[in-house]
């Protein structure tokens, strides 16, 4: 019996190894043919994954574009879009299984995670070799921010580098009550206007639910108690809940909650406030140049805004949209050459973004463009995730100086202290998980003003400490100090 089992097992194992060997052989073949892909040979097919709902005309657009690309760099591109909700799940398994592809859209923490794992090739090196033009046009902040252990692993889309929180107001109410919103400098300044709306406009909630702006550079998201002050001592990591400004602002927030400016379930609710529903007076949004036009288009009614602070460049805003070249790519050179064209050649960029000229969009006199409907609805891809914004054509209703406005915004952005610093949480994973639980319990109710900060902030701090906040803080401070020293 025993013997038979062994024989069976052996047979199985052998058949599997034959299978595997065959596959290994295949791999060798294909990588050879990939390496020999010099100019004059068959054009190399670049496989590119990017985010967004797959579009009907994608293949048509790329067939058109590929004619141009074959001439230029002897390569063709196959762009595959994966839906918003699926994208990271699917990419993660592609990366983990070592599937062959060339370029992928990636952003934020997923970029850091996969870059650390070695999923992407050194973008800095590739830029130097095949992407000098792109390197020249990129805002320098993009080359300094998203570094993992000193190396850039993704090519950020050249667009706004900073973040700016703004108050967005319903314009009809602002005009009706002749409010002077330009004079609003702090949360407390909103009080009289909110009161007016509350008294006279029963159909409107004076404030949509939002977290107030606090002047900190957060290390692990804006709810965990680790941050660096944007003004004052920038070498020390603090628990921002305990800082005096936080208390002051949250007191105002809680006062607003008590007065009924905020909805009653603001502390627990996850309900978004859709722009198209006109039932609010003021809300907080993240601004980028000309966003007001887009908001108004979404909303269907007029809006006005007032910035809360100067634009600030954070790590997060620098990693908002990147293209990375996979370490499984068989021809990184071609992939980089394509990315270079995508960021510097207006024709390539416009075709990828808007479709085929004369089919999906038409050029008007003076260089501005107009969508051709309904064809354009068969090819709508998210502009932000693809590449350089500054070489895109303008729409007829875009302001003439749209890209100058972006440039101004970038020039005005001040750099946050931690640009380029990423906390490695490996040693304090358990503490962070415990702190994460406390955050779930307290962060939202405190930051949305639902509870009295004088009572709840000390309570939360106590729980954060019990969960190991000080240990994490020490580790973080040590890493940060070391990083600061390295910078000099």
Interface with other proteins (CB under 8 A), residue from 30, 84, 200, 441: 84
Q: How far is the CB of 232 from other proteins (least distance, A)?
A: 32
Q: How far is the CB of 29 from other proteins (least distance, A)?
A: 14
Interface with other proteins (CB under 8 A), residue from 17, 18, 32, 54: 54
Q: What is the x/- site pattern for other proteins, positions 295-324, by CB under 8 A?
A: x-xx-x------------------------
Q: How far is the CB of 237 from other proteins (least distance, A)?
A: 29
Q: For residues 25 and 458, which CB has a smaller minimum distance to other proteins in the complex? A: 25
Task: Give dist(CA 100, CA 94) in Å, integer.
Answer: 8
Number of residues in contact with other proteins, rule: CB under 8 A? Answer: 47
Pairing of strands 205-207, 164-170: unpaired
By CB under 8 A, the residues from 267 to 296 that bind other proteins are 272, 274-277, 279, 286, 288, 291, 294-295
Interface with other proteins (CB under 8 A), residue from 28, 29, 42, 99: 99
25 binds other proteins (CB under 8 A): no
Q: How far is the CB of 260 from other proteins (least distance, A)?
A: 17
2 binds other proteins (CB under 8 A): no
Q: How far is the CB of 100 from other proteins (least distance, A)?
A: 9
Q: What is the x/- site pattern for other proteins, positions 153-172, by CB under 8 A?
A: --------------------
Task: Give dist(CA 63, CA 285) in Å, integer.
Answer: 39
Question: CA of 408: how far to CAs of 7, 346, 401, in Å?
Answer: 74, 21, 10
Task: Give dist(CA 171, CA 190) in Å, integer.
Answer: 15
86 binds other proteins (CB under 8 A): yes
Which candidate, 41, 113, 80, 23, places its Cα nearest to that of 333?
Answer: 41
Interface with other proteins (CB under 8 A), residue from 13, 21, 23, 70: 23
Q: Could you tell me which residues are beta bridge partners of residue 283? A: 168
5 binds other proteins (CB under 8 A): yes
377 binds other proteins (CB under 8 A): yes
Question: Which positions touch other proteins (CB under 8 A)?
Answer: 1, 4-5, 8, 12, 19, 23, 52-54, 80, 82-86, 89-90, 93, 96-99, 203, 272, 274-277, 279, 286, 288, 291, 294-295, 297-298, 300, 371, 373, 376-377, 380-384
């Amino acid at each position: 019996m025993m013997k038979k089992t062994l024989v069976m097992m052996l047979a199985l194992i052998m058949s599997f190894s034959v299978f595997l060997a065959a596959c290994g052989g295949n791999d060798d073949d294909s990588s050879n043919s990939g390496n020999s892909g010099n100019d004059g040979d068959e054009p190399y097919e670049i496989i590119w994954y990017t985010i967004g709902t797959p579009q009907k005309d994608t293949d048509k657009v790329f067939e058109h574009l590929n004619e141009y690309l074959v001439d230029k760099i002897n390569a063709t591109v196959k762009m595959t879009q994966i839906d918003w909700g699926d994208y990271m799940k699917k990419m993660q398994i592609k990366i983990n299984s070592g599937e062959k592809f060339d370029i992928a859209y990636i952003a934020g923490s997923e970029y850091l995670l996969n870059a650390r794992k070695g999923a992407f090739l050194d973008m800095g090196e590739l830029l130097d070799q095949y992407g000098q033009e792109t390197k020249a046009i990129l805002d320098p902040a993009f080359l300094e921010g998203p570094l993992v252990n000193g190396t850039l692993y993704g090519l950020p889309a050249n667009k706004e580098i900073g973040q700016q929180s703004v108050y967005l107001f319903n314009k009809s109410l602002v005009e009706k009550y002749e409010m002077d919103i330009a004079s609003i400098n702090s949360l407390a300044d909103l009080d009289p206007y909110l009161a007016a709306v509350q008294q006279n406009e029963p159909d409107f909630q004076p404030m949509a639910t939002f977290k107030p702006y606090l002047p900190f550079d957060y290390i692990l998201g804006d709810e965990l108690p680790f941050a660096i002050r944007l003004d004052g001592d920038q070498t020390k990591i603090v628990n921002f809940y305990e800082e005096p400004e936080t208390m002051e602002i949250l007191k105002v927030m809680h006062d607003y909650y008590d007065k009924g400016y905020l909805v009653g379930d603001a502390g627990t609710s996850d309900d978004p406030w859709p722009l198209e529903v006109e039932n609010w007076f003021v809300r907080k949004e993240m601004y980028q140049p000309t966003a007001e036009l887009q908001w108004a288009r979404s909303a269907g009614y007029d809006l006005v805004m007032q910035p809360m602070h100067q634009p600030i460049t954070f790590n997060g805003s620098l990693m908002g949209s990147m293209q990375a070249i996979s370490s499984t790519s068989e021809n990184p050179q071609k992939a980089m050459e394509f990315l270079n064209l995508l960021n510097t050649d207006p024709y390539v960029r416009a075709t990828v973004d808007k479709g085929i000229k004369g089919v999906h969009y038409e050029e008007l006199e003076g260089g501005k463009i107009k969508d051709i409907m309904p064809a354009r609805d068969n090819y709508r891809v998210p502009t932000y995730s693809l590449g350089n914004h500054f070489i895109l054509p303008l729409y007829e209703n875009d302001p003439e100086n749209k890209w100058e406005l972006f440039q101004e915004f970038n020039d005005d952005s001040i750099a946050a202290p931690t640009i380029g610093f990423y906390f490695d949480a490996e040693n304090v994973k358990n503490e962070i998980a415990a702190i994460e639980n406390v955050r779930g319990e307290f962060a939202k109710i405190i930051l949305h003003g639902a509870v009295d900060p004088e009572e709840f902030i000390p309570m939360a701090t106590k729980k954060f400490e019990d969960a190991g906040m000080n240990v994490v803080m020490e580790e973080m401070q040590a890493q940060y100090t070391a990083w600061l020293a390295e910078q000099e």
